[in-house]
Chain A
Amino acid sequence: MSRISHCFEKLKTDGQTALIPYITAGDPEPWVTVPILHAMVDAGANLLELGIPFSDPMSDGPVIQKACERALKNDVSLKHVLDMVRQFREKDKITPIVLMGYANPLEAMGYEAFAKRAEEVGVDGILTVDMPPEESEQFLTIMDAHNIDTIFLVAPTTSPERMEKIAQSAKGFIYYVSIKGVTGSASLDISEVSEKMTQLRQRTSLPLGVGFGIRDGKSAAAVSEVADAVVVGSTLVGRIAEHANNPEILPEALAGLVAEMRHAINARDMAK
């Protein structure tokens, strides 16, 4: 069983909702990424999403665009991101890591070279924002051969037929984008999310994560009612931006935010 599946099984047994924080690798400085990841795990993160910086992040709002710019100023690219995972795994062999990014850096490295290295260093999943199942045939085969779970997005605009198709290509979990918009742009509508979760559960037995509109403990807790995992990105990255000139305080600052969300989710999980 993959590290991701194992993680969700255990959470299910414990009656817990997964908390998945997202940060962009190398933001604001390369050395601080791994310490932030460890600190977030200590604060209650169950899986980690690590963004691969890209020059043209078309699906991201200004907060994550700027994070990419800061990371790219430090020349952080896919090979460095993989090395950060290697470093992280020196101390943590349990917490699953999903890389999230755009197709071109993967194309440039080559799918096979990427998958081989990713497996070696302990990457568990890959989410390629601009590579729908239609374009993923070869990609899926190669990732599968290297035990990398392929995570796909489902959007509010996804038709039931597409949900089915996506469910067939997805591994690990399915990520529901809770708003029409770029990352960090709006607040989610919980009843709409709930309805989509129901539709998705009729089509897949994979765990369901929800992200894009979650800003605080309150919205995280609300989503945990209906989803198996809560993904939080722009709020954390926004905090990184505030302290970009003071990176040494970031592991603690982000741990604080993660802990707050963890508490809010736990309170709700207990009440279930």
Chain B
Amino acid sequence: MANTMETNYYDTYPDHNGHFGQYGGRFVGETLMGAIYELEQAYQQYKTDPEFQAEMDKDLADFVGRPSPIYLAENLTKKLGGAQIYLKREDLNHTGAHKINNTIGQALLAKRMGKTRIIAETGAGQHGVATATVAARLGMECIVYMGAEDVQRQAQNVYRMKLLGAEVIPVESGSRTLKDALNEALRDWVTNVDNTFYIIGTVAGPHPYPAMVRDFQSIIGREARSQIIKATGKLPDALIACIGGGSNAIGLFHPFIEDKEVVMYGVEGAGHGIETGQHSAPLSAGTPGVLHGNRTYLMQDENGQIIETHSISAGLDYPGVGPEHALLKDIGRANYVSVTDDEALEAFHTLTRSEGIIPALESSHAIAYACKLAPTMSPEQVLLINLSGRGDKDMHTVAAMAGLTF
């Protein structure tokens, strides 16, 4: 049986066709099949290439500022009265989130593959900014697709991308959020497939993206694993990360998967509440299907139409999720939970006031779940939260919730 934890997980998933059990795969139009094989081949080649690795390590150290620290949140720990809470500080990365770990890797690949034009989709704008940043550095043309609604709620990131020389194209179709930006980026890629590299911002899309983006983001978990052992002398008892497409979560989880005593929680956006239907929690409340190149859990109606999602946080506002999370859910290795907009907002303020750290609204979902979980744990136990990004981009949204404008 492939679907047990008896065999080594790392040797089993994904298989050579990019399948994570029944999930993943390559569900794209024929025009793109050549391009995804070309990418897979390049990635296989460079993944083990010492020169490529050295260049990436150098960029991650000198340009991104890695390793990011882990931080013992003493005030929050005291306040919640349970497990010791550590934060993995991806918010301290250059450009303000984990997204740049991945864009550094993909941009180096693009360069080696001789591509001259970069496209990306973005929700919160963090991936768009991280892509525009690496494109500026490499002197490549950069086009970022962004849902028209997200262009409004993440206006500051739109301006950052423009400053960096990227062209931001608002997408007016469908729900005007992340999924529509992905559709439009795929359409661009089909049209300009010869010279264009598509930097996908999360562990979604057709194979090899889910595995490749995971590998680039796994630096989070590799660092965190040795940092937490050094700080506490043991593995953490639980990990928490928010889930949009699932890249920061898989980046943290993946190096711990064979550490079976480490419990993992992926936190989805429950929006106005799962029961209202206005949420973005496919693992908690969706069913398997095929979208954007892979089979995974989706928010869809009984006819297989994708339904509109809602989350206060643009980066979580997506009806699908990376296929590896779908597998981890089914085999019971990770737990998927959700918190509402209100709970996330409260956690945003809690962390800001107790620790002097303003988290992104996406990351606030992870904090919110920690606020529920920590008190049920003992003070000897350790809870490691991925603080995937900082909240600068969310000032307008948070102020508007408080009835302020500036």
Q: Are B300 and A132 in contact (CB under 8 A)?
A: no
User: What is the 8 Å Cβ interface bit string for chain B, positions 170-184, against chain A (1 contact, 0 not)?
Assistant: 000110000110010
Contacts of A182 in B (CB 8 A): 187, 190-191
Query: Complex: how many Å from CA A72 to CA B291?
Result: 17
Query: Complex: how many Å from CA A177 to CA B31?
Result: 8
Query: A185: which of B25, B191, B300 is its contact (CB, 8 Å)?
Result: B191
Q: Which of B285-323 touch A at CB < 8 Å?
A: 288-293, 295, 298, 300, 302-307
Nearest chain-B residue to A57 (Cβ)? B183
| Most central of A55, A60, A78, A155 by chain B CB within 10 Å | A55
Q: Is A6 an interface residue (CB 8 A)?
A: no
Query: A104: which of B183, B192, B289 is its contact (CB, 8 Å)?
Result: B289
Q: Is A205 an interface residue (CB 8 A)?
A: no
Query: A159: which of B34, B183, B186 is its contact (CB, 8 Å)?
Result: B34
Q: Which of A17-25, A29-37, A105-113, A258-266 contacts B (4 or more CB under 8 A)?
A: A105-113
Nearest chain-A residue to B29 (Cβ)? A59
Contacts of B71 in A (CB 8 A): none
Q: Which of B324-383 touch A at CB < 8 Å?
A: none
Q: Are A180 and B31 in contact (CB under 8 A)?
A: yes
Nearest chain-A residue to B28 (Cβ)? A130
Q: Are A56 and B17 in contact (CB under 8 A)?
A: no
Q: Is B52 an interface residue (CB 8 A)?
A: no
Contacts of B300 in A (CB 8 A): 104, 108
Contacts of A218 in B (CB 8 A): none
Q: Are A105 and B31 in contact (CB under 8 A)?
A: no
Q: Are A105 and B187 in contact (CB under 8 A)?
A: no
Q: Are A155 and B304 in contact (CB under 8 A)?
A: no
Q: Is A135 an interface residue (CB 8 A)?
A: yes
Query: B305: which of A77, A153, A157 is its contact (CB, 8 Å)?
Result: A77
Q: Are B191 and A181 in contact (CB under 8 A)?
A: yes
Q: Are B306 and A180 in contact (CB under 8 A)?
A: no
Instruction: Tell me how far the C-beta of A54 lies from the nearest C-beta in chain B, rounded to whole angstroms.
Output: 7
Contacts of B29 in A (CB 8 A): 58-59, 129-130, 153, 155, 177
Contacts of A166 in B (CB 8 A): 30
Instruction: Tell me how far the C-beta of B20 lies from the nearest C-beta in chain A, rounded to whole angstroms.
Output: 14
Asked if A157 meets B27 with Cβ closer than 8 Å, knowing A56-B174, A79-B303, the reply is no
Q: Are A152 and B306 in contact (CB under 8 A)?
A: no
Q: Is B136 an interface residue (CB 8 A)?
A: no
Q: Is A191 an interface residue (CB 8 A)?
A: no
Q: Is A90 an interface residue (CB 8 A)?
A: no
Contacts of B186 in A (CB 8 A): 58-59
Q: Are A55 and B30 in contact (CB under 8 A)?
A: no
Q: Is B56 an interface residue (CB 8 A)?
A: no
Q: Is A162 an interface residue (CB 8 A)?
A: yes
Q: Are A157 and B31 in contact (CB under 8 A)?
A: yes
Q: Is B66 an interface residue (CB 8 A)?
A: no
Q: Are A104 and B304 in contact (CB under 8 A)?
A: yes
Q: How large is the interface on A (under 10, 10 to 19, 20 to 34, 35 or more residues)?
A: 35 or more
Query: A61: which of B32, B187, B193, B290 is its contact (CB, 8 Å)?
Result: B187
Contacts of B35 in A (CB 8 A): 157
Contacts of B305 in A (CB 8 A): 53-55, 72, 77, 104-105
Contacts of B34 in A (CB 8 A): 155, 157-159, 162
Q: Is B231 an interface residue (CB 8 A)?
A: no
| Most central of A56, A108, A109, A129 by chain B CB within 10 Å | A56
Q: Is B392 an interface residue (CB 8 A)?
A: no
Query: Complex: how many Å from CA A182 to CA B184?
Result: 10
Q: Are B190 and A56 in contact (CB under 8 A)?
A: no
Contacts of B293 in A (CB 8 A): 130
User: What is the 8 Å Cβ interface bit string for chain A, positions 88-110, against chain B (1 contact, 0 not)?
Assistant: 00000000000000111111110
Query: Complex: how many Å from CA A156 to CA B34?
Result: 10
Nearest chain-B residue to A130 (Cβ)? B27
Query: Complex: how many Å from CA A58 to CA B192?
Result: 15
Q: Is B393 an interface residue (CB 8 A)?
A: no
Q: Which of B179-232 touch A at CB < 8 Å?
A: 179-180, 183, 186-187, 190-194
Query: Complex: how many Å from CA A162 to CA B304?
Result: 29
Asked if A180 meets B190 with Cβ closer than 8 Å, knowing A58-B183, A130-B290, the reply is yes
Contacts of B295 in A (CB 8 A): 107
Q: Is A46 an interface residue (CB 8 A)?
A: no
Query: A158: which of B26, B33, B173, B290 is its contact (CB, 8 Å)?
Result: B33
Contacts of A156 in B (CB 8 A): 31
Contacts of A72 in B (CB 8 A): 305
Contacts of B192 in A (CB 8 A): 180
Asked if A181 meets B174 with Cβ closer than 8 Å, knowing A155-B31, A157-B34, A162-B33, the reply is no
User: What is the 8 Å Cβ interface bit string for chain A, positions 132-161, against chain B (1 contact, 0 not)?
Assistant: 101100000000000000001111111100
Contacts of B174 in A (CB 8 A): 55-56
21 contacts between A and B (CB under 8 A): A55-B305, A56-B292, A58-B28, A58-B187, A72-B305, A77-B303, A102-B290, A104-B291, A104-B298, A105-B304, A107-B288, A108-B300, A108-B304, A130-B293, A132-B26, A157-B30, A157-B34, A158-B30, A162-B34, A180-B191, A181-B31
| Residue positions of A touching B, CB distance < 8 A | 53-61, 65, 69, 72, 77-79, 102-109, 129-132, 134-135, 152-159, 162, 166, 177, 180-182, 185
